[in-house]
Every structure is written in structure tokens, then in C-alpha cells.
Structure 1
Amino acid sequence: MINLDVPAKFAQLVDQAHQAAAEFFRPHSRKYDQAEHTYPRELDMLAALLDGLAASGGGAGAGGVRRGGTQAAGNQNGANLRLLLGTIEMCWGDVGLLLSMPRQGLGNAAIASVANDEQLARYQGKWAAMAITEPDTGSDSGAIRTTAVLDGDHYVLNGEKIFVTAGERADCVVVWATLDRSQGKAAIKSFVVDRGTPGFTLVRLEHKLGIRASDTAHFRLEDVRVHKDNLLGSPDIQGFAGVMQTFDNTRPLVAAMAVGVARAALEETHRILTEAGIPIDYDRPALTQPAAAATYLQLEADWEAAYLLSLQAAWMADNRKPNSLQASMAKAKAGRTATDITLRCVELTGSLGYSENSLLEKWARDSKILDIFEGTQQIQQLIVARRLLGKSSTELK
């Protein structure tokens, strides 16, 4: 049986993450939204603190968690759920600043998912970004054109990567490339490319609608030589599942980001409505309350569903159960819910929500990316349909 109550042993973690969000993220949220591409130096001290928490087993950042070990008797509430709860609290503070945290990149989740023990040790303490999207390849990651050709002890990578979160600031980038285009998805592999590697060129940084505190990079790879030891997982062309394990880790985290920013918007809207004389009464049917209160209750119910789906995906990972379906369900529900909630909160609060006097308009902008990256809403629905109907990617497109 799945128990989705927050474990008592994680109460201190949740409190610490919330304090970090309240004391570090919220006060600097507007500053770095307006100063796009400026690195938030205030995060260095917080990153050192989180490194200490992670070392003691209480990490609260966005880095990856690796599955492993043996299944103990009974339900397990472990590292994946702990990480997800911490991410929710931090994104209650600011999504862009969390994505700017040193050593907490989405590439770290990729390394944690499929790296061997030697690679885990070698990249311990490194900040890793992840590069999947290409100019001609968006949501269909199986159509990647960046190539990796084995030459002696090195792979030679050629191609372009766009929308790389924290690409300029990270120590290394996990690059997805194909060993053989003719083999389709089965030949897609991920490679860790250290920044400064010859031929690995930063083309530009993107200007964005939201998460402006986080840099988003465009890279070009021209004859980039990467040692074969930097290939994550097996070098054999045997299936797409290896690299796709990354998404089982990262999609629940993105769902958690969406849950966090949506909760922030709900709390602020609750405050504004209450001060305006529109109380939210949980003991009365929604249809007997003012329209704004009824709408708020509906939004809160949607948030609860997204929250529970996210917890379920993390719980299944902790209990070593396949969670690809649940990860996609959580990502799809939370991504859409966050955009719906934040935009409706702006609508409910009128001029207060639309102006920069409140963070509501910023949260509305920030939330949109959470419905797009790590697989768009449409891709998540397609994955869920395939899983439920037992169809392959060829049978259901």
C-alpha cells in the first residue's frame, strides 16, 4: 500500500528547504528576473549549505538520485521522495534560482540515473547541465542528429544543442548523440562533455519569457573529442531505455517544480482574496460561495491531484518499482496545472496580479517552461496512452 503522507523523518528537511526559499530565493526573485544572465552570487553560500545537507543524507536540491541497493521489507520513503519534497519547497521560493543552483543541474540527474560507480565518483561535486534539444529536434528525442563516432579511445561528436539549462555556468554538459542514425532510437547515447573541451562552443544565451535567473545556452559541437569513459551506460546499440531512465528521475522533479510555484501562487491569491473580503470557506459547497472563491477551490483541488501524483512517482522510485508511467502522469498533470493555476491567479487578483508589485505575474511566466521542458504536455500524454494501451511508439504516434 502506498502511503503518501509526508514522513515525519523528512519534516526537518522540508522546514530547512522552506527557510532557504524564504530567506534566499524570495528576496532575490525579482532582482534576477530583471537582471537576466547575471549569475546570482548569493547562491554560492546556499549551495555550500545544501552540499553539507546532502552529505548528511538530507539534501534538498535538484540533483539526481540513483536507484540501487536491495528492497527492504515494507514501504520505503527514501532519497527520491526527500529530493522531491525539497524541490517543491525551493520552487515555492523561485524556480529560476533553483535551476541556477551550483551542482544541482538536470544533468546531475542524468549522471545519477545511468552512470557507473567510477563515473559517479569522477563527477561527484560537479555541476552538470543536460543537452537534448536540437534546432530540428524538439520533443522527439529519438530523432536526434548530433552524431558520436568512435575513433580509438575517443568519440567524436558533431552537432548543435539548444535550450541547455545552466549550460554556460555548468562544469560539464550531458550531451545526447546517436552512434548510428540508421538505427533510430536504439543508438541514442549520452556523453559527459566537460566545458572547455576543444570544439565545444557556446553560441549564445537565450532571452526568455520566464526563469530568467537561469541561463539557457545554445552550443555547437565541431569534432569534439570525448573519451569513451565519458559515455554513460552501455556502449552497445541495444535499446533506448538506458538514456530514457534519465526522464524517470527528472520528470518527477520538474513536476515538483510546478507544484511548488503553483502553491506559491495559490497562497498569495488566498491572501489577496481574504484581504479583499472574499473568504475561502472549506465547509460550504463551492457553488454557494462567491465566484472567485469557487474558482480558487477548483484550482486548489487540481493542485492537490498534481501533488499526489508527484509523490507517487517518487515513492515508486524509492521502492524500486518501474515508474515511467507515473513520472509522465505527474509531469503532464503538474505542468498543465501550474500554468492554469498561475494564470487564473493573475486573473482573480486583477491589477495586483498583473503588476510587478506582486510576484504573481512572474510565477505565471515561470510556470510555462515546466509544461514544456523534459517532454512537452503532448509528449507526456502520448507516453501515458502508449503505456495504458500497451502500444509501441511505432503503433501509436
Structure 2
Amino acid sequence: MINLELPKKLQMAQNMSHQLASTVFRPIARKYDKIEHCDTPQELIPIGQMLKSMGMSSETGGKDSSSDSVKNGANMMQVLATGEMSWGCIGLMLSIPGLGLGNAAIQAVGTPEQKKKFGGLHCAMAITEPGCGSDSAAVKTSAVLDGDEWVLNGEKIFATAASRGDAVVVWATLDKHKGKAAIKSFVVEQGTPGMSIVRCEDKMGLRVSDTAAILFSDCRIPKDNILGSPEIADTAEARKKAFGGVMQTFDNTRPPVGAMAYGVARAALEITKDLLLKEGVELNYDRTINNSSALQAEMYRMEAELEAARLLILKAAWMADNKQPNSKQASMCKAKAGRVGNKITLKCVELCGSLGYGEELLVEKFARDSKILDIFEGTQQIQQLIIARNVLGKSSSELK
């Protein structure tokens, strides 16, 4: 059973992450929001080295005191740390060397040897293609085995940290005619001949975090760089299981994306509360919502929505740490947090008036940053579809 009281080890990690967000991220957030397509901010390099030395990207965490069989491990630590650092600046958090989305894929499905080899690298993730967005099964980038090497050909877009990372985890198909079962993920290290960064995108939010397009042209990588089995399943049940292993990456990465939305929404809400307090608007939790002003009631509703998102995030992370299937819960927390995170930040801009819309405060930046969190790692609509399939017991072919 999940224990909502965090053990001391996780509290320490949470407090350290908040201190990092407060003392490092917040002071430079506006500076790097105005500088797009820069190299990795120098302020983040020692942070990446520190987190790596602490094992923040590995299976760490400690156990819940209620039972030796109940774990609070890497997933719980990640959502707590991510939420706190996103309170400072999501773009800077995503730019920390060594904390890429590709690292989550390696931890989810990599062999012990692959985790040892690639775990210390900063690994980006490349899934989306010009003709393949929300439907991950429509990947067209190909991988063909030639002797002891895989040969990759195709194009990827919207790959976070791909131009700065040490490697990219690339989704490719072994056979375009065999659908989901033939889709595998491969680790391609930077500098590999045949892999080139085509461009970095101009964006509304997360401006300090690079988002790149990548071209693979007869890109050769070692045979052992495939994550998971190279075999293509030959039965319906085996195909489902094989693609499920690839998709397990999302079950690990969606709770942290939910934590990003929670962190940025909490940041905007706290700034708004402080500003309202200076204007004499104080929240009184002794009164019912019907006996409060419209402004107070709006704040109470946003706080309630944010707390609901937080609890869903903790549940999904806890299930992942305890090896429980969490596909539905991962989508639930991502959908809830992504939606309310964007709603709250926009409402805070509105409540803060001209101060919220201007650059004196970070509220307008938080609003811009929050929008992508309801889109990447699966849109709001895709999350609701996954949840519906789980609730109704339908397959992807039965419910589209």
C-alpha cells in the first residue's frame, strides 16, 4: 500500500532539488529564456556532475518503512526532484547534462551491460517523425541488420536535447509491413557517421531546452546497441508484448512530465498568492468555498486540482517502483497534470493582470512553458484514449 508520507531519504532529495531550483534556476531563468539555441548553460554542468555522482539517474531510493517489499525508488525520487526543479525552470531542468528522456528508456528496457555502458551518458529520445506524431506505431525510420551493425535511415523531429546530448535513443522499424512488433529502440552516440542534426526549433516555451530535427542516412551502429530483443514476434500475443516493452518507456517518463506540470503550476500559483496577499486578498481556509469571494474560490479550486494531480503522479511513480503495471495511472497523471498545469498558469497570468503579462514576474514564462507539457509524451487526447482502453479492456485496434 502506498504511504503518502515520504521517507527521510526522499525528503532530503526533494529539499535539495528545491534549493537548486531556488538558488540556481530561478535567478537565471529569464536570462536563458531570452537566449535560444545556446550551448548547455555553464551553470548546469557542475549540477549534472553532482547528480551523476549521487546516482540520481540510477535505481536508487530506499524502502518504505512500512514493509521491506514496498519500495520508493528511482521513479519516486525522479518525480519529486523533477517537480521541485520545474518550480524553478523546466527548460533549465531539461538541459541538465545526464538527465535525458533517453536515459529513462535505457533504464526501462536496457540490459545490465547497456545500463552500465550508456547510463552515464546524456541520452535524448527520438520518436516523432514528420508523418508520425501521436501514433508511435507508425514509425517509418528503418533499421536493417548488416553483419555486426544496424543501418538506420530516416528523419526524426522534436527530439529534446538531441543536439546537446551524448547519445540519442531512436525508435525505428525492422520491417514496415509488420507494424508494432517490428519497432525497436536503438542507442546512437553523437558523432556517429550518418547521423546529423538538421536544425533546432524556435519555440514558444522551454526556449533554453533545445528541440532538434535529426537525419539518419546509412547510419551504422553496433549490433549490441538495440534495446531489447531483435526478434520480431510472430504471434498476436507476442507482438502485443513486444511493443508493450517498447511502450514501457512512456510508463516511466509520463509521471515525470506530470511532475513538470505540477511544479510549474505550483510556482505560478505561489507567485499569484503572494501578489494577492500584498493587495490585501488573504486566503481563509476556515470558510467554505460558497462563503468566499470569487477570487478566493478560484484560488481554492486551483489548489484542489493541483493536489489531485500530485497524488496521481505519486501513485503512478510508486507503482513503477514496485513493478506494478501502471500504464493507465501514468496516462491519468500525465493527462490531469498537463491539463490543470496549463489551466492554472494561464489563470495566474489573468489574475496578476499587467504584472502577470509582463516580464517583471516569471508568470507569463511559466504559462508559455506549461503548454508543451500537455502535448509531448502523448497529447491530452492520446492519454484519454489510453485510459479508456484500459478501463474498457479494449485493444488499440478495437478503440481508436
The match for 1:103 among 95, 98, 101 is: 98
The match for 1:210 among 200, 205, 209 is: 205
Gaps of 5+ in 1: none
The letter of the residue matching 1:347 is E
Normalised TM-score (structure 1): 0.95
Question: Given that residues 103 and 119 in structure 2 are in contact (C-alpha distance below 8 angstroms), is that contact kept between their aligned partners in structure 1?
Answer: no
C-alpha offsets along residues 330-358 of structure 1, whole Å, 9 cap, x if unaligned? 11111111100100111111111100001
- 1:213 deviation in Å? 0.8
2:349 maps to which residue? 346
For residue 42 of structure 2, give the secondary structure of its aligned residue in structure 1: coil
CA distance in 2, matches of 1:130, 1:79: 19
2:236 maps to which residue? none
The alignment yields a C-alpha RMSD, in angstroms, of 1.5
CA distance in 1, matches of 2:222, 2:9: 42
CA distance in 1, matches of 2:69, 2:189: 41
After superposition, where does 1:347-366 map in structure 2 within 5 Å? 347-366=350-369
2:286 maps to which residue? 283
CA distance in 2, matches of 1:93, 1:124: 26
- 1:191 deviation in Å? 0.3
1:37 maps to which residue? 37
After superposition, where does 1:260-271 map in structure 2 within 5 Å? 260-271=263-274
C-alpha offsets along residues 187-207 of structure 1, whole Å, 9 cap, x if unaligned? 110000111111111110000
For residue 97 of structure 1, give the secondary structure of its aligned residue in structure 2: helix
1:249 maps to which residue? 252
After superposition, where does 1:146-295 map in structure 2 within 5 Å? 146-238=141-233, 239-295=242-298
- 1:151 deviation in Å? 1.0
For residue 246 of structure 1, give the secondary structure of its aligned residue in structure 2: helix
For residue 358 of structure 1, give the secondary structure of its aligned residue in structure 2: coil
CA distance in 1, matches of 2:58, 2:215: 26
- 1:364 deviation in Å? 0.2
- 1:156 deviation in Å? 1.0
- 1:319 deviation in Å? 1.5
Question: Given that residues 172 and 192 in structure 1 are in contact (C-alpha distance below 8 angstroms), is that contact kept between their aligned partners in structure 2?
Answer: yes
- 1:73 deviation in Å? 4.2
Confirm or deny that 1:121 pairs with 2:121.
Answer: no
C-alpha offsets along residues 260-299 of structure 1, whole Å, 9 cap, x if unaligned? 1111011111101111111111111122222111111101
C-alpha offsets along residues 32-82 of structure 1, whole Å, 9 cap, x if unaligned? 00001113111011112212222xxxx2xxx46599x9xx74532222211
1:297 maps to which residue? 300
CA distance in 2, matches of 1:183, 1:338: 38
Question: Given that residues 139 and 173 in structure 2 are in contact (C-alpha distance below 8 angstroms), is that contact kept between their aligned partners in structure 1?
Answer: yes
The letter of the residue matching 1:325 is K
C-alpha offsets along residues 99-148 of structure 1, whole Å, 9 cap, x if unaligned? 10000000111111111011111113211000000011101000011011
2:332 maps to which residue? 329
Question: Given that residues 66 and 112 in structure 1 are in contact (C-alpha distance below 8 angstroms), is that contact kept between their aligned partners in structure 2?
Answer: no
Cα 1:108–1:338 shift into 2, 3 Å: same
The match for 1:131 among 122, 126, 131 is: 126
C-alpha offsets along residues 153-185 of structure 1, whole Å, 9 cap, x if unaligned? 111111100001001100100000001111111
1:145 maps to which residue? 140
Confirm or deny that 1:387 pairs with 2:382.
Answer: no
Equivalent residue pairs, number = 387
C-alpha offsets along residues 217-249 of structure 1, whole Å, 9 cap, x if unaligned? 001111111111000011111231121111111
CA distance in 2, matches of 1:307, 1:188: 33
2:9 maps to which residue? 9
The letter of the residue matching 2:285 is Y
1:84 maps to which residue? 79
C-alpha offsets along residues 70-100 of structure 1, whole Å, 9 cap, x if unaligned? xx74532222211211111111111000110
1:53 maps to which residue? 54
Q: Percent identity?
A: 59
For residue 370 of structure 1, give the secondary structure of its aligned residue in structure 2: helix
Confirm or deny that 1:371 pairs with 2:377.
Answer: no
Normalised TM-score (structure 2): 0.94
